Structure 1
């Protein structure tokens, strides 16, 4: 029970963090590099 409560939010936030990291990298590249 405790493992499910601890692991699910952790995995969920990890996926969110990874997607946000990729998005922020794309935005920073778009702002730094002229298109």
Structure 2
């Protein structure tokens, strides 16, 4: 059970971090576009 929770937590963290990277990339593109 502990390993299961760890895996789920890892997926959540990796997803949110990639989402942050996507947002940073989008804002960078917007700034360069302006």
Q: TM-score range by the shorter chain?
A: 0.7 to 0.9
The number of equivalent residue pairs is 34
- Structure 1 regions of 5+ residues with no counterpart? none
Find runs of 4+ consecutive structure 1 residues off by over 4 angstroms.
none
Q: TM-score, normalised by structure 2?
A: 0.72
Which blocks of at least 5 consecutive residues in structure 2 are unaligned?
none
Greater helix content:
2
TM-score, scaled to structure 1: 0.71
User: Aligned partners of 2:15 and 2:6: how far apart in 1?
Assistant: 15
Q: Secondary structure at the match of 2:25?
A: helix
C-alpha RMSD of the superposition: 1.1
